[in-house]
Amino acid sequence: MSKIDKSVRKQYRQKVSEDFPEKIQVGPWEFKKKSSMRYGENPGYPAAFYQEVNARGPNMATLEVLQEGTKGLSYINVGDMDLGQRLARKLTQIFKGKKVCVLIKHEMPAGVALGDNGDDGAEVFTRAWGCDPLSNFGSVDVFNYLVDEKLANTIIEKGRNVEVVYAPDFTERALEVFSQRKVLRVVKMGGRLEDEAVDNGLEFKRVAGGLLVQQRFDSRIVSTNDIEVISEKQPTDDQKEAALLAWNVACFTRSNAIVVGTKDKIHGLGSGQRSRIDAAEDAVRLSRRGYGPEGTIMASDAFMPFPDVVELAAASGIAGIIYPLGSVRDEEVLARANELGLIMMVTRRPGETDCERGFLHRYFLPSFFLAFFCLLKLERQLFYLWLFLLLSIFASYFFARFEK
């Protein structure tokens, strides 16, 4: 048996040089290089972070690094921070006056908790961490409130490993506490999450030989009035609040996504599965690392093609489900739910026909996070050819819109 050479770890610390341009113009939008990164998603591939010049408010373009740690912000860190900030901002807008803590791993929520404005910030963080203490190891932790000394000490407690703390502000004592953890990155938001965040509102996904463009999804389910109850059993107010929280977290969770939770925290998340029942089984199983599934409301980011998820929910002690209609077996699923005594809520206002679906396939480049061109070490001539083709795509896109 050969010995493992410990020098193999050096590859994770070595910075890869890049010679990407200082500015990139895409249609009417200009992106300016903000920083070079150690490497991309994997060692050996160059990467850089470009900010959208006219972006403002709380987003990746306006962040301020207060403590770089020994490695600096990574490509993966910034992706986690972006998703965490957008989820925290959405919850801040919906649950006004609430403290919000969101923990992210690999661009997926790993813990989410709400607290009243007077609640202790450290307790809200501990509640979020309890969702899945195992998966939260190495997380990016996002807050919509001031990080004080007590919260800072809680974050760096023995047994916890946090990559990045990202918040609107920090007390001086909190920063002193964080300085004890040399590898920790501490980042200040470019505004409060209640503030307006402005960028071009488009998202880009690189595909071989082209680029996909779409308008950013923003859930319309922002109040319990936006939810219709279709089951025989009716929910309590707390259960409708739980449905509102779980649905919005599901919208930021990679599909197929299932989320279970109560009105103040998420209990379990199943994400990125090819079948819905697998995602549901993961959510139930992972919830047992922390709070368990009993008494929760389940959110499904798309319709249920079979009654299997309903049957699993009932067997696991889950009280109800929020989901969109659209399956050819909708009536069969609802009938089975009524037999099992489940509450069934759908993502539309009473009287409407269409439901909202919450699919997310996260591997895209947010508009202010464009151009991490780390997949290929391009020669400069090839890069400019690629840029020309990209501009041609956008010119065609805007001409088509003008024609309409």
Q: Say whether pLDDT at 94 is over 60.
A: yes
What's the pLDDT tens digit per position in 211-236? 888 888 889 999 999 999 999 999 99
In percent, the amount of the chain with pLDDT more than 70 equals: 89
Q: Say whether pLDDT at 366 is over 80.
A: no
More confident residue, 27 or 322: 322
What's the pLDDT tens digit per position in 293-330? 999 999 998 888 899 999 999 999 999 999 999 999 99
Mean pLDDT over residues 39-57, rounded?
91
Amino acid 371: pLDDT: 38
Amino acid 247: pLDDT: 96
Give me the residue spans of the domains in the chain: 51-197, 224-346
**What's the predicted TM-score (pTM) here?**
0.87
> In 95-159, where does DSSP find H-type helix?
121-129, 149-155
Confidence of residue 7 (pLDDT cuts 50, 70, 90): confident
More confident residue, 376 or 316: 316
* Residue 176 falls in which region: left (phi positive, over 0), alpha (psi -120 to 50) or beta: alpha
The verdict on whether omega for the bond into residue 256 sits within 30 degrees of 0, i.e. cis, is yes
Fold match flag (51-197 vs 224-346): yes
Confidence of residue 237 (pLDDT cuts 50, 70, 90): very high
More confident residue, 373 or 24: 24
Which range is most confident: 53-62, 70-79, 161-170, 381-390? 161-170
Q: Say whether pLDDT at 370 is over 70.
A: no
Mean pLDDT over residues 118-137, rounded?
96
Pick the CATH number of 224-346 from 3.20.20.70, 3.30.43.10, 3.90.950.20, 3.40.140.20: 3.40.140.20
Q: Among 38-52, 158-172, 332-346, which stretch is predicted with the lowest mean pLDDT? A: 38-52
Mean pLDDT over residues 342-367, rounded?
80
The CATH number of the structural domain formed by 51-197 is 3.40.140.20
Amino acid 393: pLDDT: 52
What's the pLDDT tens digit per position in 61-77? 999 999 999 888 999 99
Structure tokens at 238: 């707390």
Q: Say whether pLDDT at 3 is over 90.
A: no
Positive/negative CA dihedral, 325, 330, 333, 334? positive
Amino acid 11: pLDDT: 86
What's the pLDDT tens digit per position in 244-294? 999 999 999 888 899 999 999 999 999 878 989 999 999 999 999 999 999
Amino acid 89: pLDDT: 96
Mean pLDDT over residues 184-200, rounded?
91
